[in-house]
Amino acid sequence: MDARQIQLRGRENVLIVIMAVMALGALAAWLLAHGFMFDDAMVRWSKVLGVLGSEHIRLENLSLLYPHLPLYAMVPFYYLPGMKFAGAPYLVSVLFAAILIWLFLHHMRAQPISIFKRMLLMVLLVAHPAFLWGATNGSQLAMSMVMFYLLYHACQSMIAEHDIHAYISLALILAMFFFIDGSAVFIFVALLPMLAVVAPRRLMMVSPLSIYFILSVPFLMAVFSWAWLNWLFASDFFHFIHDPHSSYLGGYMTLFNYPWLVHYGGHFFATLLPALGYALAAYPAVFYFLFATWQDQSRFRASFVLFVHPVLAIALATDQFYLRHPIEILVLISASIFAELTFIDLSHTRSYWRVVAMLVISLAGGWWVFTSTANPAMQQWLQAFRADRVLIADQDGALRLGRWLATHRLPTMIDENSAYKVLVARGDAKGLYLSYTDRFKLALGRAIPDIDQIVVADPTSPAGKLDHISIHYPNLYAHGMPGFRLVYSGVTWRVYRRL
Amino acid sequence: MSQALPRIGDVLVDHGLITESQLQEALKLQRERGQRIGEVILAQGWITASEFYSALTDHFRKGRIGDLLVERGLLSEERLMEALQLQREWGTRVGDIILAKGWVRPFLFYQVMATHFDKPFVNLIDEPPDEGLLDENHYDAYLEQLFLPWRKEHGLTKVAVADLDGEIMVAAEQVIDGPIDFVVTSKFDIVWTLQKYGDAFFSEKSVHELRKRQPEYSASTVFTVPQLIFAFVVMSITLLAMAFEPVNTLIVINAFISVFLLFNFGLRALLTWVGGDKRFDNYVTDEEVANLKAADLPTYTVLVPMYKEAETLPHLAQALRNLDYPMSKLDIKIILEEDDEETIETAKSLALEGMFEIIRVPPSLPKTKPKACNYALNFARGELATIYDGEDAPEADQLKKVVAAFRKSSPNTAVIQARLNYFNVSENWLTRMFTMEYSLWFDFYLPALDALKIPIPLGGTSNHFKTKVLRELQGWDPYNVTEDCDLGVRLTQRNYRVGVVNSTTYEEANNEVHNWIRQRSRWLKGYMQTYLVHMRRPLHFYKTLGHVGFWGFQFFIGGTILSVLLMPFLIAIFIVWLITQTTVFNAIYPASLLYINLINLLVGNAFLIQLFMLSGFKRHYYKLMPWALTVPGYWFLMSWAAFKGLWQLIFNPFYWEKTNHGLTTYQVTSEVDEHSLSGEQGSAPEAKGS
């Protein structure tokens, strides 16, 4: 294929990516319009709103309990008009999904297949529920998919070319993964035995430790850096593990909410079988890759890793009570299938249609797994997807309070850790004294806070149990405080204003 | 039975070179003076020597050199056959092959050569030339073609030559007035005689040529007046600002340092990625080397400056003999200081083959390696020239790889740098760190600098030049103690390209801390000199290098200097804060600067550790990789050396901190493998310090 054709491919690819962004964006908008809101997305967006709305922007106020890169990715959207009400996380997810699609098409550009065939492949891959879930739920999963795609590509390069770039890439991807996804530790540990499969044979014979060194050190440095920052800003190296609100704990603190953890949590080997079943049911295409590469040692090794690595990661994360649902990691197989396809010669009609057939079967399997095992958040997503009008979940009244606060803009003391939905519904944090501000800390040190307005949660509610104001002034919610009058009372939340 | 040759006079008349009447006059003069007819004709100036000898080739060639050597018992028949075979392969003259192989002593060889050309042989040591005939304006021509005007006899200037071919004759006629004729002598006699009489001239040239012709590039002035004024202004403003706005001033300084270091790390990350491209590891393939025809290879000058390294000389000679290059096309100059009698004696006692020449550099200041190389450059005859240090062991095919690299590079490629590495990798902690650093430098950074068109600071050895360009640039700056770094930048400024090649020269890594500090302080002082020289006219520098080249230079050369000088202060602040948890520094670390500093501290150090690991990994020195974790300790040594270098830059700028070689207990070799990394070291030269 000559340079001109490749250039033409590049232009076609841009067109396809734009179409994909539009389609995924429309789907995300549809989901939001039909009541879907993902809790993880709201927590993250509230952090961004809080920090960027502060007088002094300090990154440590994002808290060190969440990987920071997904938060940074949302920062530009804070400044875009129309973005302040919760749309940003979903748009970021869509954009990262688009990046993944662009990478896929970019790596495919040398394949002599028509634009329609490429589009068909892309549609089949994108229509997989795991991909759609990751691309539209506003969490960090879309970023993780991009990283996993690159990780798998780096593994392939390592096997095929023993290129130093592959090692550098893989080491950096693993390190960056830690700042993107709380499950990175499990992805990393699960990859360690797999390195014996992907590393060049000669290297494994001469110095097996070297590959572990070269790939592990950046990751371990990333973990150490994070621990050190925790010590620096929270006086505890392991604050990100010790704090019950930490996203690095996954489902650990609320495991009884997740049937998967209730059944398999703490059992590595017992998890392997169901994880394997989910993987095979959702991605039967993997069978084909294993079968098709059987004759080619190096390719087979890659396919093997593609399949086994996520399964091991699921088992590890479940063993440690992290994983709330296997789909959180199975999503990543979608990315590696994208990557795997770029290494398959699809110029032969037979092999192309075989792949298409396997992707169609995977679609069916994927939807079946997704619908039959969905957790509450996934069910909400499915309901919104099916266009059944879902009322916006506001059982604790946070959204209503947020809208009320948006119209009653007095300096207000509020704990954003418990009231993140309030912040999202308000749309910004201007005039709010959040838990990390000096004003908030000083106010808590007084018997009667020197603040115009105080938001407090019902101490008996789940939010109230986390709310620092409620914990510090246990009678405030029920009886108020001298010098303050009740100005708002809704489900879970009350607002007192100084007389 | 051989046919009688026609008489010389008749041949010349037949060729129309002289007239019949001139012949008659010559015969008359011959009878009166008792000279040979040829000498009479030449002395009359009717024809030139080149015309004379080209018309009379058959009269003056007595048999073939090889046969004459065999006849006289100086060479065996087998060796002659071998020489003839090599002649077919290498495309050089049999005599050059025999001399290069050292099969016949040069003194005897040139005697036979004289017989061959039917010319008298003169020993220039016993029968020195008439000094009045030597013209220093023509030393370059004497050296290029190896001849010199010897004496004047009967109106003829006798020119001593080591060979009698047309090119030499024409060159001699161009620079010597009046009619000439030739005597034969040894090429070594010519070189030694020219050294003897041209001592002052060559010394002056080697020291002052650059300073005279391009003073703006000479480090002989450390700080120029505008630079001093600039420094004074900056310091005054800083002090004033400190007096009135101390916190804000410190914040500005802090911001400058933090951002600069961030960019420095960024550039190094970029260089690592670009330089890691595997095309650089295979720039010249083994197949391309195999396809080179020996006959097409150019003459190669190898400069080997040595000082008090008598014990490494035999190993070096062997390493050079091992080069896979036609020996008759090698012009190896062992450059020794005249006061280094021990090494000179050792060199003599080794009775080195004809491809080796010993150049004795007369004492003069500054006593530096670049000056010695400049001096020897006068005597270089190769189309290409390279430098090796005394303890170097280049890979055997390096010269061929360089030739291939030049052929596939752009025409403006003036120099190609080979990779440097060490053979005593695992001798101790220092050699391990040094090896990883060098691997990083030569295997990642330099190829990337080449690709990004950022000036390459050439390494101390194994840089292969086009000799013509080297001379055009007046060679190395003798006042700059990292003359190669400076030369790399100068070349880029003159729109020449500095390339790299995938061949390695193995050296002896410094295994002793004080010795290492000496060496590193010199390098860093030289970087400072280079930075100051090229930043004398920053706008001009910017214009000649462009955006990438200019900023690359700032962050690569400037960044190297600044980072090692600042590191102790930054670490000290960090440690004080860590131990005392003082809030004193809070004021000068606003949030944004704090984040940049945190990135520099965490990411920067982690990145450096990883880079060292990668360098070991790429070189397959796997056992070195865990040692990369100790790189912060190595940085402290760097800082120590940097401050020493800075001190010397101010108080003793041209002092050449000599690095002692021969301290290793490892064998000099270009075969570094896993055994070397396990500490298996083979036989070694005796350790020696100087």
Euclidean distance between CA atoms B64 and A99, whole angstroms: 77
- What mean pLDDT is predicted for residues B281-310? 89
Strand-strand pairing, B463-466 and B413-422: antiparallel
Euclidean distance between CA atoms A131 and A148, whole angstroms: 13
Residues 6+ apart with CB under 8 A from B328: B86, B90, B92, B93, B96, B97, B99, B100, B355
Picking from B516, B507, B511, B460, the residue whose alpha carbon sits closest to that of residue B637 is B516
- What mean pLDDT is predicted for residues B95-102? 86
pLDDT on residue B383 = 93
Q: What is the dihedral of CA A16, A22, A25, A27, to 10 degrees?
A: -90
Helix (H, G, I), strand (E, B) or coil at B291: coil
* Total CB pairs under 8 A between chain A and B: 62
When comparing pLDDT for B237 and B460, which is higher?
Answer: B237
Euclidean distance between CA atoms B191 and B357, whole angstroms: 9
pLDDT of B674 > 60? The answer is no
Interchain CB distance below 8 Å, A206 and B625: no
pLDDT on residue A83 = 73
- What mean pLDDT is predicted for residues B385-394? 89
Q: Among the three residues A385, A419, A445, which one is the final residue of a domain in this structure? A: A385
Same domain, residue pair A337 and A216: yes
pLDDT of B168 > 80? The answer is yes
pLDDT on residue A412 = 92
Q: Among the three residues A333, A351, A385, which one is the final residue of a domain in this structure? A: A385
Euclidean distance between CA atoms B194 and B381, whole angstroms: 14
Supply the range of the domain harboring residue A465. Answer: 398-498
pLDDT on residue B402 = 95
Interface probe for B, chosen from A207, A211, A232 (most Cβ of B below 10 Å), is A207
Interface of A with B in 163-182 (CB under 8 A): 163-165, 167-168, 171
How far are the Cα atoms of A89, B263, B489, B553 from residue B545, in angstroms, in the given order? 45, 19, 9, 9
Same domain, residue pair A379 and A406: no
pLDDT in tens, chain A (499 residues): 677 777 788 888 888 899 999 999 999 999 988 888 888 899 899 999 988 887 777 888 888 889 999 999 999 988 888 777 778 899 999 999 999 999 999 998 888 888 888 889 999 999 999 999 999 999 999 999 999 999 999 988 888 877 889 999 999 999 999 999 999 999 999 999 998 888 888 888 888 889 999 999 999 999 999 999 999 888 899 999 998 888 899 888 888 888 889 999 999 999 999 999 999 999 999 888 888 888 887 788 888 888 899 999 999 999 999 999 998 899 999 999 999 998 888 888 888 999 999 999 999 999 999 999 888 888 889 988 887 666 566 677 888 899 999 898 889 999 988 889 899 888 888 889 998 888 888 888 888 888 899 999 999 988 888 889 999 998 899 998 888 999 999 888 999 998 8
Interchain CB distance below 8 Å, B591 and A165: no
For chain B, the structural domain boundaries read 8-196, 278-513
Same domain, residue pair A316 and A422: no
When comparing pLDDT for A188 and B508, which is higher?
Answer: A188
Rounded to the nearest 5 percent, the helix, strand and coil shares of chain A are 70, 5, 30
Interchain CB distance below 8 Å, B591 and A161: no
Q: Does A59 touch chain B (CB under 8 A)?
A: yes
Same domain, residue pair A32 and A75: yes
Same domain, residue pair A342 and A410: no
- What mean pLDDT is predicted for residues B602-610? 88
Number of H helices, E strands in chain A: 25, 5
Interface probe for B, chosen from A54, A58, A168 (most Cβ of B below 10 Å), is A168
pLDDT on residue B61 = 67
Interchain CB distance below 8 Å, B617 and A165: no
Give just the sign of the alpha carbon dihedral A246, A252, A258, A264. Answer: positive
Q: Partners of A353 in the beta sheet?
A: none
pLDDT 10s digits, B71-90: 888 888 888 888 888 888 88
Amino acid code (one letter) for A225:
S
Same domain, residue pair A55 and A114: yes
Q: Cβ(A194)–Cβ(A201) under 8 Å? A: no
Interchain CB distance below 8 Å, B591 and A171: no
Q: Among the three residues A358, A385, A412, which one is the final residue of a domain in this structure? A: A385
In whole angstroms, how large is the CA radius of gyration of chain A? Answer: 24
Q: Does A291 touch chain B (CB under 8 A)?
A: no
Structure tokens at A212: 């572990």
Q: Does B279 touch chain A (CB under 8 A)?
A: no
Interface probe for A, chosen from B280, B595, B625, B630 (most Cβ of A below 10 Å), is B625
All residues of chain A having their beta carbon less than 8 Å from the beta carbon of residue B626 are: 213
Residue B65 confidence class, pLDDT cut points 50, 70, 90: confident
Same domain, residue pair A187 and A284: yes
Q: Does B165 touch chain A (CB under 8 A)?
A: no
pLDDT on residue B60 = 63
Same domain, residue pair A365 and A426: no
Largest CA distance in chain B: 109
- What mean pLDDT is predicted for residues B313-319? 85
All residues of chain B having their beta carbon less than 8 Å from the beta carbon of residue A221 are: 602, 606, 609-610
pLDDT on residue B683 = 43
Residue B2 confidence class, pLDDT cut points 50, 70, 90: very low
When comparing pLDDT for B224 and B425, which is higher?
Answer: B224
From the list B272, B625, B629, the residue facing A210 with the nearest CB is: B625
Interchain CB distance below 8 Å, B674 and A206: yes
Same domain, residue pair A363 and A437: no
pLDDT on residue B687 = 36
Same domain, residue pair A238 and A347: yes
Helix (H, G, I), strand (E, B) or coil at B525: helix
Domain B278-513 in this protein, CATH class: alpha beta
Interface of B with A in 415-434 (CB under 8 A): none
Helix (H, G, I), strand (E, B) or coil at B330: strand
Largest CA distance in chain A: 81
Question: Of A295-309, B56-70, B148-162, B292-306, which has the strongest mean pLDDT?
Answer: B292-306
For residue B602, the chain A residue with the least C-alpha distance is A225
All residues of chain B having their beta carbon less than 8 Å from the beta carbon of residue A207 are: 622-623
Q: Cβ(A36)–Cβ(A380) under 8 Å? A: yes
Picking from B200, B41, B77, the residue whose alpha carbon sits closest to that of residue B131 is B200
Euclidean distance between CA atoms B631 and A185, whole angstroms: 26
All residues of chain B having their beta carbon less than 8 Å from the beta carbon of residue A163 are: 276, 278
Q: Kindly provide the ipTM of the predicted complex, given to two decimals.
A: 0.85
pLDDT 10s digits, B223-261: 999 999 999 999 999 999 999 999 999 999 999 999 999
Residue B650 confidence class, pLDDT cut points 50, 70, 90: very high
Interchain CB distance below 8 Å, A213 and B273: no
From the list B277, B614, B629, the residue facing A214 with the nearest CB is: B614
pLDDT on residue B682 = 46
Same domain, residue pair A415 and A381: no
Q: Domain count of chain A?
A: 2
pLDDT on residue A287 = 85
Answer yes or no: is A391 within a domain.
Answer: no
All residues of chain B having their beta carbon less than 8 Å from the beta carbon of residue A222 are: 606
All residues of chain A having their beta carbon less than 8 Å from the beta carbon of residue B602 are: 221, 225, 228-229
**A292 alpha carbon, distance to own chain's centre:** 32
Same domain, residue pair A38 and A62: yes
- What mean pLDDT is predicted for residues B201-216? 86
**Where do the DSSP E strands lie in B222-347?**
300-306, 330-337
Answer yes or no: is A393 within a domain.
Answer: no
Burial of A93 (0-12, 13-18, 19+ CB in 10 A): buried
Q: What is the dihedral of CA A456, A458, A462, A467, to 10 degrees?
A: 30
Picking from A290, A228, A267, A186, the residue whose alpha carbon sits closest to that of residue A64 is A228
Q: Partners of B335 in the beta sheet?
A: B305, B359
- Backbone φ, ψ for residue A110 (5° rounding): -85, -10
Residue B3 confidence class, pLDDT cut points 50, 70, 90: low
